[in-house]
Each structure stands twice: as structure tokens, then as C-alpha cells.
Structure 1
Amino acid sequence: MAGTTLGKLASLRCAAGYTQVTFVAAFAREAARLRIDASVSVRQLRRWESESPPPLPHPSQQAVLEAMFGLPLAEMGFDVPSHRYSTVERIGDDGEVKRRSFVTGPGAIAAAAVLPSGQGPRVGASEVAAFRARLADLYTVDHRSGGIPAKARATQLEQEITRVLNSSVYMSRVGRDLHTMLCELACHRAWFGYDGGPPEQARAACMEAMTAAQLIDEPLLQVRALNTLSLLSADTGRMWEAASAVENAYSLARRAGAGATVHLVISLREASAATHAGDSASAGRALSRAVSYQGRTDTDTDVPRWARFAGPVEVDYATAAYYTGKGQLTRAVPFLRSAVVGLGGGYTRNTAWYRARLAQTLFDTNEVEEACHEMMGVLDACNGVSSEKLRRRLHTFERIAVRADVPAARDTVERIRETTRGGDR
């Protein structure tokens, strides 16, 4: 008989952010990921949520449901017979930590959870979703405010997730999600360190991210860490390491079946490494690959969040760097202009980066008045952006502009000093 209140399963589904239709699709994806032959229809889900007692899922469906919600089936509102109950067994002699195995049938382990000292709050899909939302927000903080404030938030979130892992009860899917988020946070810290420093911490975070990605078997997160390592290595003169990071990133991306957007990011890192090394021929080939990949990004169906920034703007910026490296500054200028214009709203930090590079290049081509105008635009827009890389670009412009005996340059130098006087930006 249909119930009149929201049942346990429906409450869990809503807390995890699913409609009935999206839940059915997520169920299919999870079953495929677990390599379990199981499916559910919207009609069957409605019966599970509305009938009392609800029909008992098949064992294969049970395994997928437990993996999705991080709970034994009996805690989802189903009347589960004893032989289908999740059971507990001690594995090893690990003192304070006990490992719990949920068994759906003879010898069939559906999931595992950690129970420190036999106590602790249970963590499931809703808590994972809340952590995931905060993780996603780091991209917005980074784009708008820079790597320094984003790094502080990432550190806080990392500490909270680590505390949950050490003191809570969770099933294997939840544990894997939490470990994956820790890996993503290490990738974030590496990138934020590239922006905000210090480089030694950024490099350590890269290594941490690569190790974690290997342990949880997430090759695309390894690719992400390698991309950042390539940038860090090129900046610090480790050219062989920058090139090796790119080569390994390509290999992992191919094995993972990554799409054109991920390969576009790698080719941009390849172009950057070659440009830093003064190898214009290799940089040109990498840019040709980037243009080819960029033309195919519209065929991608599942682009990782960290790669979604890549597109024509980044290709233009890399092309400008290529011409700058060859000493052809006038050819770099239109590509820098295109990159600045092409960045959409929300990319405050990157817009400041790119526009500061445009200002410096204009100055180097003796377009002093226009260069100072561009730099004034950077200073108008960068209030609230905390980025060590941007601060260095401001001071680089200050050092070259102070030699120009024109009013615009003097005004710009004074404005840079006012802007940076209160501390690093």
C-alpha cells in the first residue's frame, strides 16, 4: 500500500541531490563502475519508496544501493531477511581500528567501512555531497580571488575530511569518495602553490597528489598533478622534469581514454615546457596539437572539472608565449589581446595575469602609453585578488616602467607601489 509520508529511501535520495530520474541514471553508472549486472527503473524506484513494506531489491541491486548511499540495506527502510543482512567481521589484529565488511551473500563482499574503537558517527551520501560542494567552490574562489585564499580554504576542508576518515563509520564507496576528494585537494594545493607559493610546498603537494591518485587508481588525477608539476618544473629550470611530466601525462591520458579537452591541457603544458626550454620547434608542434585538440573539444561528453578552463583563450595565450620566446613581440600582442578579451566573467585572477602580460609586452615594443593604460586596468580590477604570481608581474612592470620618463609611467609606478604596499597580492 502506498505510503503518505516521505520514506527512508526517498529521504536518502533527496539528501543526495537526486530526482527519481537522475537516481536511475546514477544507479546505472554505479553498477557499471562496480561491474555488477543490475538496473532499476523509475517505476521500481517508486515502489521502493512508496510501498510499505517495499519490495526487497535483488542481491545485485542491494550491492549497488549500499555503495551509493554508504548504508546497509536494512537502514534504507527495507525488511531484510537475516541471510541478506550486512554482517560484521574482524579483519587482522589492528588494535584501535576495526574493519567492517558488509556481506550480501556467501563470499560476496559488497562494501567495507572503518569503525575506530567501535564508535563514531556514520557518514553517507549527504555528507559526501556537502564536502563535494565545498570542493567545487574552491574553483570559484581561485578564479575570483587567487590561490592564496583558495589555499587556506582547501587546507581547512582537507583537515575536516581527514578527521572524518579517522573518526567516522562509512562504507567503501563513501571512503573512496573521501579519499578521492583528498587527492583532488592535493591537486588544488599544488596549483594554488603555483599561483601563491611557496614553490617547495607546491611541488610537495604535486608528489602527494600523484601518490594518492595511484593508490586510488585515478589516472586522470595523476594527469592533473603532472600538468601542474610541468609548470612548476619549467619555472624552476628543471626542463627535463617538465618534459617528462608531459610525456607521462600523455601516456596516462591515452590509457584512461581521456577526451580532446584533457589532451588539449597536456599539449598546452607541452608548449609551455618547450618555450621555457627555448625549443621553438617543439613548442610549435605542441601548439599545432593544441589547435587540433581544441577543434575537437565539442565531441567531449565527460570533461573533468579541472580541465574545463581549456579552450581558445589558453591557445591564444600559449601562442603569445611562443612568439615572445622567439623574440617576435609584435606578433605576440594580438594573441594576448585576444586572450584578454576572450576570458569570461568570473576569471578575475587570470584576466589580471593575462592583461599584466599584455602590458609588459606592449611596453617592450615601446608602446609605453598603451602599456600603462593596460596596467592601470589591471590595478583597477585586481582589488581582492591575492596572487603571488600577479604580484611578481606588477613588480616586473614597475622595474621597467620606472626607467621611462613620461607621466603615464610615473603614475603607473606610483599606483603599483600603493597597491602592493600593504602586503603581497
Structure 2
Amino acid sequence: MCMGNSGNAALRAARQGLGYRSQAALADALTEVARTIGLRIEVAARTVRRWESESPPWPHPEHAAALEALFKRPVVELGFIPPWPNDAEGQALRGQSGATGPRKLSQYRRVAGGTELPASVAKNYAAITVAHRGMYWSLPANQLQRSVADHARMGADLLPQIDVRAAVSLAKAVSESALLAGRLEFFDLQQPEAAQRSFVLALQAAHEAADALLGCVVLAHMAFIPAFSGEAKRAEEARERVRAARAFARRANGNHELTAWIDAVEAEVETRFGNTRQALSLIHHAEQSYALHDPQQSPSPEWLDWFTPIRLAGFKANTLISAGDGRQALDTLRRVLDELPAESVKQRSVYLADAAAACVLEKLPEQACGYLEDALDAIGEYWYATTLDRIKAVRQGLRKWDSLPEVRALDERLYDWHTTVNSISG
């Protein structure tokens, strides 16, 4: 495909071939077709203009889905270059000529020299991905994130080189690795921009593998970013991600556990935007779904290891706190803390902070400080930025009790060297 000074000729030709004379007409058509596949997006004419430029950016996942639905072909055949080949290969691909444009990523081969990698590379790569999954629960986040993110990028670079028979298995492992990198960046390290990039790579690799289940969980994770932003104007963005996740789950015949998790994610989104009644209804539906789940009959993928009935109860407690029901939230969290596995240190720290928030609602400041001290102990062992956020939010709620010795002692812990340095650097 030669674009030269004429811009993205492949997309422009495809547009004109379908009878859309202007970029605005294509934008309207893409907005309409997105609705038919369950996406609520608005495509602007200026977006199409960027796509038809000399250096078209890789489309956002929802835009890519709309483009493929409208044109009935992969976006790589519309003049878009996937971001994962290295720069040299990307430049070479941009210089290729041919009416059909670049092929799908799994069909790429090195443009200049090089040999095809054996299928064993995919197997070995996936083994490291599985090891990283297990390490998430025990290694410091900043150390693990570097390794996982590098692993995901390396896998993306390997995709064009792998034996075609192993391309799907490698793409699945790349998607899982990028998803884990995004989880570390978002929940553990509070790096939403880095997490967004990782989630996009995870979604692209899931598409490469045609794995709708992985696509579903990546989209649902992407909903957390606008939901946690604190910006009310991003509510629809978060909800659209959840709708897309549900569409992918239906496409993949997701089981009851997956349905329950998506309900919990949507409940978190609605809680963040103040709709606690709807959130509690979603939690109730999730509990019903979990009651129907039969792991023997319909097992979940091995990588879905971050959700259990007890963690659903944790979601419920957080929503109850937002709804102002401290008593029921505290009862729920006491049960959660009793039943949570010992290795779930990160989640325990979050639930301890939530228990403190429930105590504040019940006007039990001394007990709240006790829970916060325990939460600080936990993040002293395994740093978790999400927990520190919740601790600080509870501390704001304790301001009327600033004179209590327990609150003063809490401040000494909250602003010690370890916590202060981690909160600023982490």
C-alpha cells in the first residue's frame, strides 16, 4: 500500500466504494452501524479526516469494530498499521504496495529476512504468562509491572514472526499479559494512562486471537478508568465500555460467573457516579447469577482468578457504604475478612479500609482507626495504591474526631516515611 502524499488511499477508496462521498457521510454511517452492534459511540468527521491522513492513527477498539462491521474486512486492510510491530517493520509495511493493503497481523512475516519462529516459542511464552499470573498475588507491584509490561510488548513483537499454527495461542497469551500489566498499572500503581495503553494492546491481541471472552474482560476493565476519574462527564464512556463487554460476553456464551463479575463492575461504575440504588440492584443480580454457577458444568478460564463470591460481597459492601448503610456494610465486611484467603493481601487491605469507612458512618471512630492501622500494615507489606486512596478518603471522614489519640496516632502512621514516599512515587 503506497500512501505517499495522498493520505490513506485504502480507506478513501473503501469509503468511495460504498458510495460515501464525504468524510462526514462515512462518520454518520459508522455511528449508525455502531448502534447495531451494541456500541454507543459518535464518530466525528474530523476523526475520519485523521484516518485518511498520511499517518492514520490506529483506531480505538470501538471505532475499529464499527469500521470492520461497515466495510466487512479487517481494519489492517483499510490502511491502518497495528502499533505492535517494531518501528523498522512498521516503516517497511507502510512502504509496501498492493491493492489489498497489509494483511492481518498473524499473517505478517518479516519484510526483510529473518526466519519464522517455531511453535514452541508460543508455548514457552504462555508459560511465563501463567507464572506472572501467579506472581501477582505475592510480588511487589512496581517490580512485577516492569516484567509483565515488557513481556506483553515482546509478545506483540513476536506475533508477526510466529509459526501461523501457533499465532492464536500466542495472541491469547499476549492479551492476558497486557491485561495483567493494565491491572497492575491501574489498581496497584495508579497509572491510568499506562493502563489504557496496556488494555488497548490486550484488546487488540484478543481480537487477533478471536477470543471474545478475553475481549469482554478487557473492555470491562477499561470501564474502570473513566469511572475512577472523578469526572461526571465520563459516565457515559464508562457505561459504554460495560455495554460492549456484555455484548462480547454474549458472543462468547460467557458463564454465570462472568455475568456476575460484569454486574459487579457495572455496580462499581454506577456507585462511582452516585447511582447506588441501581448498583445494589446489579449486585443482587450478580448474587443470583453466582447461585446458578456450576464450575464443573461451565468452568471459567484459568485467568479469571480475581473474582469469587467473597469478592462479590466486597463489591456489595463498598456500594452499601456509598448508599450510607454502614451497619449492613460492616456486617458484610466482617464476614468477608473472616473468609478471605490469607494470600489475598491486597484485597484484604481494601476491605479493611472499607470497614473503617463503615465505622465512620456508624460513628465509631476508634474502631475505624483500628481498621485503618491494619490496612496500613497490609500495604506496608504489599503496596496497593487503591487502598491508600480509600484510607485517605476515610481519614477525611474522621476530621470531626481529630482530637482523639487514636486519630493522632493514625496520622503518624499515615504520614511516615514509607507511606509518604510510596504515595508520591508510586
Same fold (TM over 0.5): yes
Does residue 186 in structure 1 map to residue 178 in structure 2? yes
The 1:276–1:208 alpha-carbon spacing in structure 2 relative to 1, beyond 3 Å, is same
Matched, 1:267 2:237: no
SS of 1:362's equivalent?
helix
State the shift of 1:94 in Å: 7.0
Aligned residue pair count: 317
Could you tell me which runs of 5 or more consecutive residues in structure 2 were left unpaired when the two chains were aligned: 1-91, 97-105
CA distance in 2, matches of 1:348, 1:161: 29
Would you say the 8 A contact 2:168–2:208 is kept in 1?
A: no
Q: Describe the SS at the equivalent of 1:411.
A: helix
* 8 Å Cα contact 2:227-2:272 kept in structure 1: yes
Residue in 1 that maps onto 2:421: 422
Counterpart Cα distance in 1 of 2:368 and 2:272: 24
Deviation (angstroms), 1:235: 1.2
1:259 Cα deviation from its structure 2 partner: 0.9
In 2, the alpha carbon distance for the partners of 1:386 and 1:159 equals 25
* Structure 1 residues not aligned, in runs of 5+: 1-92, 98-110
Judge conservation of contact 1:143–1:350 (CA < 8 Å) in 2: no
> Equivalent of 2:114, from 116, 119, 125?
119
Q: TM-score, normalised by structure 2?
A: 0.67
**Cα offset for 1:273?**
1.8
Q: For 2:129 and 2:175, how far apart are their aligned partners in 1?
A: 11
Deviation at 1:313, TM superposition (A): 1.3
Q: Is the 8 A contact 2:224 2:269 kept in 1?
A: yes
Once the two structures are TM-superposed, the CA of residue 269 in structure 1 deviates from its matched residue by 1.0
Counterpart position of 2:202? 209
Paired with 1:379 and 1:95, the residues of 2 have a C-alpha distance of 52
Structure-2 change in CA distance of 1:123 and 1:364 (3 Å): same
List per-residue Cα deviations over 1:152-197 (Å, max 9, x = no partner). Answer: 121221243245446x5x3212222222222222222322222122
Deviation at residue 214 of structure 1 after TM alignment: 2.6
1:253 to 249, 267, 291: 249
Counterpart of 1:309 in 2: which secondary structure?
A: coil
Percent identity, aligned pairs only, is 18
1:249/1:161 CA distance change after superposition, 3 Å: closer
- Cα contact 1:223–1:249 (8 A) shared by 2: yes
- The answer for the alignment partner of 2:333 in structure 1 is 336
Alpha-carbon displacement from aligned partner over 1:271-308 (angstroms, at most 9, x marks no partner): 11222232233223211210111112224533123423
- TM-superposed deviation, 1:270: 1.7
Report the residue type matching 2:288 in the other structure: S
Q: Secondary structure at the match of 2:324?
A: coil
* 409-418 or 393-402, larger mean C-alpha shift: 393-402
Q: Does 1:374 align with 2:371?
A: yes
* Aligned equivalents of 1:205, 1:155: Cα separation in 2: 8
Q: Equivalent residue for 1:316?
A: 313
Pick which of 174-183 and 330-339 moved more: 174-183
Q: Residues 147, 260 of structure 1: CA spacing in aligned structure 2 closer, same or farther, 3 A cutoff?
A: farther
Q: Shift of the alpha carbon at 1:378?
A: 1.9
Paired residues of 2:261 and 2:307 also in contact (CA < 8 A): yes
Is the Cα–Cα contact under 8 Å of residues 169 and 209 in structure 2 kept in the other structure? no
Distance 1:252 1:165, change over 3 A: closer
Aligned to 2:9: none
RMSD, matched Cα: 2.8
Q: Is the radius of gyration larger for structure 1 or structure 2?
A: 1
Residue 209 of structure 1: how far off its partner (Å): 2.7
Going by fraction, where is strand more abundant, 1 or 2? 1
Cross-structure match for 2:133: 139
